Structure 1
């Protein structure tokens, strides 16, 4: 495998430093700083419209693709600023994968080709002889191998919604990212599929840094080691009210607004 990429340690934390974001003249995030530790799950919680998904997209340079979108601050992966001129957009995509709210496999493409699709998109070279093992490895990690191993050449679009989401996770893992971002990955899934995705997150957390946006407070408690509570006061941009160990955020939060949110009194 040959890759010309910025050097990043094998497992890496990702850190936002004083990140602000705008859409045109409208400021949507104000000086957000957050350390998301390596090989751990950090959950971003908060009501709709407080900037969680925007923040997540800033972490792998998707924000800059929106017309009129601007930002300030730094995002550091293992100490390197991913917005530095030495980083190409494909470098960020290679190191920082993304799984979206709605499963988005390539429907006409086979399960096998869906898993390997990210290799082309990021310019990652893998020998043909290694692709079978890579696909199997990623499908195992995504908790999907046993269900699809006998139909790898069938279309990915024929899978159920939960299976499609796990296929998207396998596709993201194929380029061996250091960080995996997940934007409400279970919101469109049934309880059984949700539990399988959560088990996949748990299994992956020992080797990949995971950041997940979720509106499901029970899910945040189940899957994450740390939480950051985002809030946008009326007419103001979003920011972090409080962050820390998940058990503290839910059991003994310092800010009354955090307690109100996690206990369902608003949002």
Structure 2
């Protein structure tokens, strides 16, 4: 219990380090919070008018997809922050200190999850302002938020592993660019049925699509017809995909952290 207490305390110290960065450079935090809002307004007011959805209200359809995309875009911030710490020697400095070896990873995870909660809250407020609503009761709405955070938690481990393994700034930049196609290759903004067959199948099985479809169902917002097995079982896949991602990348992240000095 004593070791666990110190591990939690050390992890919280690393988390507080991120809070210090926010207070010293609030512009970066504000820009990160406003970016999903700008994407939301772009699709809600500029591009969404040409997209037909069941029920006829594209904004009702759009919001759960934007929530899910924000969870995926958070992956970029995780591996960039981890990669910068590794490249600049900050992680090695932490490893030389008398602190729990898990603190760097757990502290980063806690800071990113708190950032995600704040970003999601801002996006929900903006959604309410443009006419979106959760029409299936507060319990189902909370369950939808839980599914979104569950996806983000799983992607945290992927981001930590990528940040520990890829230290080249050019490679990090390439990864940042690749996050966008992963987000758009889904049902978040449009129907996979409008894509070529093989591409639509990939979009259907994208973990982002499962979470977005399940969130639409729980929020009571319109979605696409369940034309595929993946679409018909979105809720089950929204639970299973993050579990699989965590089971794969959490051990890989721990191993990569332990092997940093080798």
TM range (shorter): under 0.3
Give the TM-score normalised by structure 1. 0.25
Question: Greater helix share, 1 or 2?
Answer: 2
Based on CA coordinates, which of the two structures has the bigger radius of gyration? 2
Question: Greater strand share, 1 or 2?
Answer: 1
